[in-house]
Structure 1
Amino acid sequence: MRAMKSILRKPDAEETALIGRLEQLSQEAASYCRTKAAELHISLKLVEVYGAMHRRQLTFVYTAEDRIDFRELVRDLARRFGGRIEMRQVGVREEARRLGGIDTCGLVLCCASFLTDMKPISAKQAKKLNLTIDDPRLLGVCGRLKCCLMFEMMDAEGKIAPQAHQLITPTRPDSPSSPTLPS
């Protein structure tokens, strides 16, 4: 599971109002950024915008195919919203994690629910599992090989299978030779 940040206390009325203003500002900033990026012919896909509670800062999280020179965009954003503007580029797996969703298996995306360390699976590893890497069923919503294939790989290598001496075979409780669990 992904580590959750600790909760210090319930927010008071002032902090609740600040959170509401930050959410509204984030939506406005996202809309403005998309419009300005289109005007400046910058090809970026905005994933998320969030503001810091205790300082004047907006962080714009985006994905892009190529390296982008967005100095003019940052100047426009700083003029419009004031404070510090941070642009953070993320990859397609991180984008899928932030957006969340349901995968083809019908479960919540592994990267959005419990994976903390997103190690990519390589084509070489998929071939070790006798999988054809061009099968679209093996691709996640991010377009890369599914993260759960790493569990298959670990299972094939014997890294996650329990050892024989770790297994407890349940028998009837009234049997004299039955192994019992410690109390």
Structure 2
Amino acid sequence: MQQYILNQGTSNPGVAGFKGNTNQKLPVVNWLADLPETQQESKLVEVQFKNTHKGYFINSNDIILSKGDWVAVEASPGHDVGVVTLTGRLVLLQIKKNHINMERYEVKRIYRKARQSDLEKYEEFKAKEYSAMIRARQVTQELHLDMKISDVEYQADGNKAIFYYIADGRVDFRQLIKVLADIFRTRIEMRQIGSRQEAGRIGGIGPCGRELCCATWHNNFITVSTSAARIQNISTNPLKLAGQCAKIKCCVNYEVPAYKDAIKNLPPHSTVLNTMEGDFYHIKTDIFNGIMTFSSSPNSNANLTSIPVSRVNEIISINKRGEKVPSLTQKESEKTGIDYKNVVGQDSLTRFDKDKRKKNGRNKGNKNNGKIGKNNKNADENKGNNDNKESRKNDKKKNNSQQNRENAPENINNNKSS
């Protein structure tokens, strides 16, 4: 019997509020999960179904629920199965964040925690969703409808199937619903979504290397125009601005308010600065560093000069008085002459070479002194050796002469006897 165990992949598995964020679209963190009193403040529960599909249900039976629990909820018709993502006080904050009017929102009930049989049936119909999407696309082509079936979501009990589609204009799909109902033998519901919602349901990795914002946290889709890129001095190349939905990336809008606030204090781009060197035209602006770049030609980047915004405002005020400044970078109070100091002849070009020669001379002298000392030592040793040899020779001569004198009387006696 198959067991359904929710993934526990989090940075802090020991905290209950982090459970179940793995492989989920629009994941949330119940950072109040360890405070039991906050769980009793509201009976509303946030339940997530396939991909980014979420709903809010009331826990009228006071079932003890926590994040990651599978529950069977009321549907029309029948029932559906989803995963609890938020409980308690944070549900009210989530509803406020998503701008949901609870007076017009139809709040349905949570029946019970899902049984094993409910989950097995849920998996059975979930396995049919891809083939149903392919078959529905074939039917739309046969009926020549200008629309694209993006996704199919079966209800857990199989009583209803939701077909998500994308279309540029109004589509009459009444005949399509009849054909699909005959094919799949269930109730058919058509829901139109935009390209951004489709990218969020499918998911993916953006050019920044992170998971798509529309699949992780962003659910308030607004129009993004090329003017947002121009305000930030971003290239309007469509290939670079487009996301996986083929629309301008949502992240282009993120920093627009900060740029608008900074631009309020900057001169307009049409500003022309009049100087004695000629007129200079605006080319680009480093908004947050407060530096503007001007060119002497309105149609080319010739003689580019970058000056701070304070200097630009100063030149504009001077031009309004009918006067011209000498140049963009030079102020009137500054001297026009070149200020320099003649330092030629103060230091010798060979001052370092002299030190080197002295150093080399000292080293060479020390080296020669060492050689002379060594030679003197060798000479003394040789002289001592020669003296020893001479003394040994003299001693040997003395010994020989003494021996001859001792042997002389014996030789005389021998001669006489003979």
SS of the equivalent of 1:61 reads: strand
Which residue of structure 2 lines up, in the alignment, with residue 172 of structure 1? none
Choose which of 93, 98, 104 in structure 1 pairs with 2:201. Answer: 98
Q: Is the 8 A contact 1:47 1:99 kept in 2?
A: no
In structure 2, how many angstroms separate the alpha carbons of the residues matched to 1:28 and 1:146? 31
In structure 2, how many angstroms separate the alpha carbons of the residues matched to 1:24 and 1:141? 26
The question of 1:25 aligning with 2:128 is answered yes
Q: Which has the higher contact order (CA 8 A, sep 6+)?
A: 1
Which residue of structure 2 lines up, in the alignment, with residue 165 of structure 1? none
Q: Is the 8 A contact 1:2 1:115 kept in 2?
A: no
Q: Give the C-alpha shift of residue 59 in structure 1.
A: 0.5
The question of 1:38 aligning with 2:130 is answered no
Higher mean alpha-carbon deviation, 7-16 vs 104-113, is at 7-16
With over 3 angstroms needed to count, the CA separation of the structure-2 counterparts of 1:86 and 1:128, relative to structure 1, is: same
Choose which of 209, 229, 247 in structure 2 pairs with 1:144. Answer: 247
* Percent of aligned pairs sharing the same letter: 31
Higher mean alpha-carbon deviation, 149-158 vs 110-119, is at 149-158
Larger Rg: 1 or 2? Answer: 2
Residues 130-170 of structure 1, C-alpha deviation per residue, up to 9 Å, x if partnerless? 22333421221112221111222133246xxxxxxxxxxxx
Which residue of structure 1 lines up, in the alignment, with residue 234 of structure 2? 131
Which residue of structure 2 lines up, in the alignment, with residue 88 of structure 1? 191
Which residue of structure 1 lines up, in the alignment, with residue 93 of structure 2? none
Choose which of 111, 116, 121 in structure 1 pairs with 2:214. Answer: 111
SS of the equivalent of 1:18 reads: helix
Unaligned runs of 5+ in 1: 159-183
Aligned letter for 1:38?
Answer: Q
Which residue of structure 1 lines up, in the alignment, with residue 42 of structure 2? none
Q: Is the 8 A contact 1:2 1:116 kept in 2?
A: no
Q: Give the C-alpha shift of residue 2 in structure 1.
A: 5.4
TM-score by length of 1: 0.74
Q: Give the C-alpha shift of residue 55 in structure 1.
A: 6.5
SS of the equivalent of 2:189 reads: strand
Aligned letter for 1:20?
Answer: E
In structure 2, how many angstroms separate the alpha carbons of the residues matched to 1:51 and 1:24? 9
Q: Give the C-alpha shift of residue 86 in structure 1.
A: 0.8
Choose which of 155, 159, 172 in structure 1 pairs with 2:258. Answer: 155
The question of 1:75 aligning with 2:178 is answered yes
Q: Give the C-alpha shift of residue 43 in structure 1.
A: 3.3
SS of the equivalent of 2:150 reads: strand
Unaligned runs of 5+ in 2: 1-25, 29-45, 48-66, 71-112, 262-418
Q: Give the C-alpha shift of residue 75 in structure 1.
A: 0.2
Q: Is the 8 A contact 2:140 2:176 kept in 1?
A: yes
Q: Give the C-alpha shift of residue 120 in structure 1.
A: 2.7
Indicate the structure with greater strand content.
2
Residues 43-102 of structure 1, C-alpha deviation per residue, up to 9 Å, x if partnerless? 322211011225611100011233222211110111222332111111111111111111
